[in-house]
Chain A
Amino acid sequence: MIEDILVVIGMIMIGVGAVADLIAAIGMNRFKNFYLRLHAATIGTIWGAFVPLIGASLVATGCYCLGSYRWFVTGGGIITAFLVLILAPAGSHALARATHRSGLVKVEPCVVDHLNEEMCVKEG
């Protein structure tokens, strides 16, 4: 009984992760600017990678069909999930900081930019 509940919750999480992946990929193609694409990247890494990894771990825990090696899948999935949860925001932040400091991309819809006034492109 409890195994069935774990499998159903895990499958729902894998489905949510797939839909979030599709949304993030569409957003990555539709946004105009590097700083706007960071939003899509955040959706893709947290909702698209962390959630299905936890879901796959739950499916592997509840399914007896994988044999006794299913604990291997569970442990690997949870470790990968926490690595993604730590590393993905750190990497995005480092990349955004380097891009802004090197002046590679202008801040396009901008109200005020105290770090570097020349990077700010005001509308109108």
Chain B
Amino acid sequence: MDFSIIQSFIIYVLPIYMVAFVLYTIRALKGPTISDQVLAIDAMSYDLAAFLVVLSIFFKEPILIGTAIVLALWIYALDIYIAKYLEKKEVGE
């Protein structure tokens, strides 16, 4: 299939993703407790990993794909740190 069709489709899809990211960021900035903020940034980062893969097709540069794997793995680490801190009130030991 022609590449311009895929590119114009991604152009139409892109604003929906951007509105979703803005709403996630608003919840991450104002969330009443720490858990709400971490949950919002968690969901935002997994969606951002998907968006990065879509953008690497859009920019026609396959070398950009490695960033999505790294982002998905390290956001999980942030989740576990905060959960450990909230449960035991300490990290490490």
Cβ contact of A49, chosen from B19, B47, B63, B84, cutoff 8 A: B47
Does B49 contact A63, Cβ atoms closer than 8 Å?
no
Tally of A interface residues using CB under 8 Å? 63
Tally of B interface residues using CB under 8 Å? 53
Does B69 contact A79, Cβ atoms closer than 8 Å?
yes
Query: For residue B42, which residues in chain A have a CB less than 8 angstroms away from its CB?
Result: 41, 45, 88, 91-92, 95
A57-101 CB contact bits vs B (8 Å, 1 = yes)? 101101101110110110011011001100110111011111101
Closest to A90 in B: B76
A1-27 CB contact bits vs B (8 Å, 1 = yes)? 001100110010011011101101110
Query: For residue B91, which residues in chain A have a CB less than 8 angstroms away from its CB?
Result: none
Cβ contact of A76, chosen from B16, B51, B53, B84, cutoff 8 A: B53
- For residue A105, CB closer than 8 A to chain B, the reply is yes
Does B56 contact A73, Cβ atoms closer than 8 Å?
yes
Does B76 contact A22, Cβ atoms closer than 8 Å?
no
Cβ contact of B86, chosen from A15, A49, A65, A98, cutoff 8 A: A98
Cβ contact of A102, chosen from B46, B72, B87, cutoff 8 A: B87
Query: For residue A24, which residues in chain B have a CB less than 8 angstroms away from its CB?
Result: 20, 43, 47
Cβ contact of B66, chosen from A45, A76, A90, cutoff 8 A: A76
- Complex formed: what's the CA distance from A11 to B9 in Å? 8
- List residues of chain A with CB under 8 Å of any chain B CB: 3-4, 7-8, 11, 14-15, 17-19, 21-22, 24-26, 28-29, 34, 37-38, 40-41, 44-45, 48-50, 52-53, 56-57, 59-60, 62-63, 65-67, 69-70, 72-73, 76-77, 79-80, 83-84, 87-88, 90-92, 94-99, 101-102, 104-105
- List residues of chain B with CB under 8 Å of any chain A CB: 1-3, 6, 9-10, 13, 16-17, 19-24, 26-27, 33-36, 38-40, 42-43, 46-47, 49-51, 53-54, 56-57, 60, 62-63, 65-66, 68-69, 72-73, 75-76, 79-80, 82-84, 86-87
